[in-house]
Structure 1
Amino acid sequence: MFPLILLYLVLTIVRPQEYVPALIGVPVLPVVLVLAFMAWLASASKTYAAPQFLILPVFLVVIMTSQVVNGWFGGAFRQLNQFGPTVIAFFVLAAACTNLRRLVISMAVMVLCTSVLAVHGILQAKTGVGWTGVLTGADGRIQYVGIFNDPNDLGLLFVANIPLSVFLSRHGGPLGRLFWLSCTALLLYGIKLTNSRGAMLAVLVVCGCYVWYRRGAMVAGVLGAIGLVGMKMLSSRMQDLDAGEESANGRVDAWYEGLHMFTSHPVFGVGAGNFTEYNPLTAHNSLVLVLAETGFVGYVLWLAFVCYSFWMMLSVLRFKPEPADDAEQLTAWRHEKPVALTLLLTLCGLFAAAFFLSRSYMVVVYLIIAMVTGYYIGARQRLPALRSFNLASQWWRWVPAAMGSIVGLFALVAVLLKTVG
């Protein structure tokens, strides 16, 4: 099971099946996923000990339902075909990552694959074309094949892997440290070449969250302001970071239209994948996209799925072993904290970038949350005193949380529209 899901991870990120002539047209990715799923079904290590295992399949049903209630029955099968594999991959990878060693290996594979894309981007920036045959964009920004053809998506992937590569640099001796820090430098340079403002802001968020955790909010705020000024000096697109700038103005208008779609279709939305049927520009915000396309029902589920992941990592960091606990448990907790902090920072970077992108259904998001979920299940086995999460007794809290966040989105858009006007 584990080698197969790792292979799936490689194929999902590096995507040789989309540019290697011998693999083009061969269903390599679905075949590997089916084999991994069959191995998972036969495995004794499969688990459902986290709310995400229930939320995600229900979210898939809601995505399908959103098409049916909008009059397209065939759309339900289309969404099953598109999002169903992501659900399967989540289950398999989460089960594999309950083991700490396998989690670290999964991190390493993800960073290595992402570094390959960064090297491709550097070659592309220097020569105008990468080994995939993909050219740089008209504006000189790097891109890749498939789901990473958009420079913003590429930037999101780079940001999410930076905390992982820094974590790996702390293990394996001097040579290992040098290697993983080199990967970190590659990813940072890759972000610069994508010239993605969302990715650059996400790097700032990751650094700010780390400083906040170590030094407090005041220091994080001061260094964050300095970092923002520095980024604006380094990037021409960051210099245009203003609500009145044409690109930003279009995004605000898209957010407004998305909220209008929600108010006109509040229960199940306008249907998954249908945003651009109502607005020429996509939402450019993962929360607005889910809210508009799947309505309140889908939004509550998606928000709970994401927030449980943050909550789990914060629970490990806030965990305090009882004085009566033995030395072995105390040592185990000290080993768990760096892993939890790394995964929390990864989530912060991922969703900071996703706030400016329509990536609510992107497979990379769910693979990272699978790692988080599997890690927490394993952490509870290693630290039995860690809190458990039970959707049956906690589901009610996500309804007011969703309502509050929706009010926040309406308020944010209203302020931005006033600023633009």
Structure 2
Amino acid sequence: MADKLEQNTTLEEERPIIEFPSLVKLIIVSGALFVGLSLLILPWYLALAIFFALGGMIAVFFDPYMGLIAFLIGALLHPLEFFSEVFASMHVSTVLAVAVMFIWAFHIIVYRDFKIVNDKLNILVIIFGIALFFSTLEYFDFSFPQFVDFVKLFILYFLVVNLVRTRNKFLIMMWGLVVLGAIACLIGIFQHYRGIGVDYGEGVIRIRGTALDPNDYAMHIVILVPMVFALLFNYKNLIIRGLLLLILILLILNIVFTYSRGGMVAFGLVLGLSIMGFSFQRKKLILPILLLAVGASVLLPMIPEKYWERAKTISDFSDPAIQARLDTWKTGLGMIADHPVRGVGLGAFRYEYTMRAYMGSDVKTRASLFSHNAYLQIGAELGVPALIIFVLLIVFSWIDLLKAEKLFLKKGDLLFAGLSLSLRLGLLGFIVSAVFLTQAFLTMFWIILPLAVVAKIFAREDAGKYASA
């Protein structure tokens, strides 16, 4: 009798606040009524859009993880921009992030699913967000819209940390990132052969894929390269391996067609370490060398001569672009020295640089320039405290991924050990790229951070089960 009473009590505690069948019926009836009425007032395509939006909201309520995947598609591919220029000026991905967050919150309330992941990285992200907000106070009207752009990354971090709760969801997300990268690369190849891209007066058209800037796009691709290696080394199916090799070739070609020098340096380092790291992890040295030889023989003839010409200018300090970067770095350090606590204001680097360039005599490049260094960008715009937090985010993520990899290897889980290594190498790619490029708020970077937390949690859970077995 006592056991039955305890079982009933447990079932009562697990029952949602609102009965699920009644809730679903209410949402479906209300949604159908709304769509039906919209057909009388709105054009058919808007009514159809409303129908799919409501259907999507119901699907996300069933499983908020589906909303996270939809958000990733929107944040990485920006698909609506291809249909109308109006969407390009709207914060569509931010709106989608907020919508998914609220639906997830509603799901939590209804199901009493108050299992929120607690980790030191969460605290650092919150502190960084607060520092970011305070940096908008100097030029609030100008800086606040850029803070709104960061909000989607803030939401993305906490969605990934709390919604990727199973190994399958982790694996699906890794595959999803690779597939989205492949789609972006196909768009990039189309842009290259159609002459679509950005011309900075250097005699080449630089593709930007689904990003706003060629350098931004190159950083995304560099991070994806080790993920492809991780999957390639852990799947034996020949069809899957063939597709992954094709994706790897697409990634390499897209990096070439961005003509990003910072991307070149980071890619070369990440590619070499990926081959070495996965070879030693799996104790297979011959296969990677063969793949490298075959890949080089296929790809080298496809690389334009202008790419090699641009690569040679990396160490040429007389090159105007290199001189401009040196000027921005020197001026950026001056901004940090003059505004060490709160910085010059979020997004204000290029305007502060222009003012200092025309007022000072030691700056040769007098134009509106970005920092071309993510660390200087954070330090100059947000202040030294925010820069310290930013570096700590990178350091703790690196440590978490290294610990996760070792625990997975100890258990013999080569797949997740490889995925942890790939995320760490992707993080290294960002660390190196960030020395030459401005993107401190790169979407892929803010995906790696929460995945590091999730990988560590899975590794510790598996280690606990392994120890108790």
Q: TM-score, normalised by structure 1?
A: 0.77
Matched, 1:21 2:95: no
Matched, 1:174 2:254: no
How far apart are the structure 2 equivalents of 1:276 and 1:295? 16
Residue of structure 1 in register with 2:34 after alignment: none
Query: Shift of residue 87 of structure 1?
Result: 0.3
For residue 343 of structure 1, the aligned residue among 417, 423, 431 is 423
Query: Shift of residue 244 of structure 1?
Result: 3.2
Matched, 1:330 2:415: no
Letter in 1 for 2:157: F
Any conservation in 1 of the 2:135–2:345 contact (CA below 8 Å)?
Answer: yes
Residue of structure 1 in register with 2:393 after alignment: 305
- 1:237-386 mapped onto 2 (5 Å cutoff): 237-242=310-315, 243-279=317-353, 280-319=368-407, 330-332=411-413, 334-384=414-464
How far apart are the structure 2 equivalents of 1:385 and 1:304? 30
Residue of structure 2 in register with 1:102 after alignment: 169
Residue of structure 2 in register with 1:3 after alignment: 66
Percent identity over the alignment?
A: 22
Residue of structure 2 in register with 1:196 after alignment: 260
Q: Can you list the C-alpha shifts for 1:284-334, whole angstroms capped at 9, x where unaligned?
A: 01111111111111111111112111111122334498xxxxxxx7234x4
Query: Shift of residue 254 of structure 1?
Result: 0.6
Any conservation in 1 of the 2:408–2:416 contact (CA below 8 Å)?
Answer: no
How far apart are the structure 2 equivalents of 1:375 and 1:83? 24
How far apart are the structure 2 equivalents of 1:264 and 1:232? 44
Label 1:104 to 1:273 Cα distance change in 2 as closer, same or farther (>3 A).
Answer: same
Residue of structure 1 in register with 2:133 after alignment: 64
Letter in 2 for 1:114: G
For residue 150 of structure 1, the aligned residue among 191, 203, 213 is 213
Label 1:115 to 1:22 Cα distance change in 2 as closer, same or farther (>3 A).
Answer: same
Query: Shift of residue 145 of structure 1?
Result: 6.6
Any conservation in 2 of the 1:125–1:136 contact (CA below 8 Å)?
Answer: no
Matched, 1:48 2:117: yes
Any conservation in 2 of the 1:206–1:349 contact (CA below 8 Å)?
Answer: yes
SS class of match (1:244): coil
Q: Can you list the C-alpha shifts for 1:97-136, whole angstroms capped at 9, x where unaligned?
A: 342221221122212122122112222222223xxxx677
Range that drifts further, 337-346 or 14-23:
14-23
Query: Shift of residue 154 of structure 1?
Result: 1.3
Any conservation in 2 of the 1:119–1:186 contact (CA below 8 Å)?
Answer: yes
Any conservation in 2 of the 1:17–1:23 contact (CA below 8 Å)?
Answer: no
Residue of structure 2 in register with 1:400 after alignment: none
Query: Shift of residue 77 of structure 1?
Result: 4.1
Letter in 2 for 1:63: L
How far apart are the structure 1 equivalents of 2:383 and 2:161? 27
How far apart are the structure 1 equivalents of 2:440 and 2:372? 10
Any conservation in 2 of the 1:99–1:375 contact (CA below 8 Å)?
Answer: no
How far apart are the structure 2 equivalents of 1:11 and 1:293? 28
Range that drifts further, 48-57 or 86-95:
48-57
Aligned length: 361
Q: TM-score, normalised by structure 2?
A: 0.70
How far apart are the structure 1 equivalents of 2:96 and 2:249? 32
Q: Can you list the C-alpha shifts for 1:188-215, whole angstroms capped at 9, x where unaligned?
A: 1111111111111111211343466466
Letter in 2 for 1:201: V
Q: Can you list the C-alpha shifts for 1:312-360, whole angstroms capped at 9, x where unaligned?
A: 1122334498xxxxxxx7234x443212111111111222222211111
Q: Can you list the C-alpha shifts for 1:11-43, whole angstroms capped at 9, x where unaligned?
A: 111111112139837765344322321243334
Any conservation in 2 of the 1:310–1:347 contact (CA below 8 Å)?
Answer: yes
Any conservation in 1 of the 2:191–2:209 contact (CA below 8 Å)?
Answer: no
Query: Shift of residue 173 of structure 1?
Result: 1.1
Q: Can you list the C-alpha shifts for 1:24-77, whole angstroms capped at 9, x where unaligned?
A: 377653443223212433343853332221111211111111232x3x344564
How far apart are the structure 2 equivalents of 1:377 and 1:281? 41
Label 1:232 to 1:198 Cα distance change in 2 as closer, same or farther (>3 A).
Answer: farther
Q: Which runs of 5+ in 1 are unaligned?
A: 322-328, 387-421
Letter in 1 for 2:269: V
SS class of match (1:240): helix
How far apart are the structure 1 equivalents of 2:93 and 2:136? 26
Compute the RMSD of aligned alpha carbons.
Answer: 3.1
How far apart are the structure 2 equivalents of 1:198 and 1:340? 24
Label 1:4 to 1:215 Cα distance change in 2 as closer, same or farther (>3 A).
Answer: closer
Residue of structure 1 in register with 2:101 after alignment: 37
Query: Shift of residue 168 of structure 1?
Result: 2.1
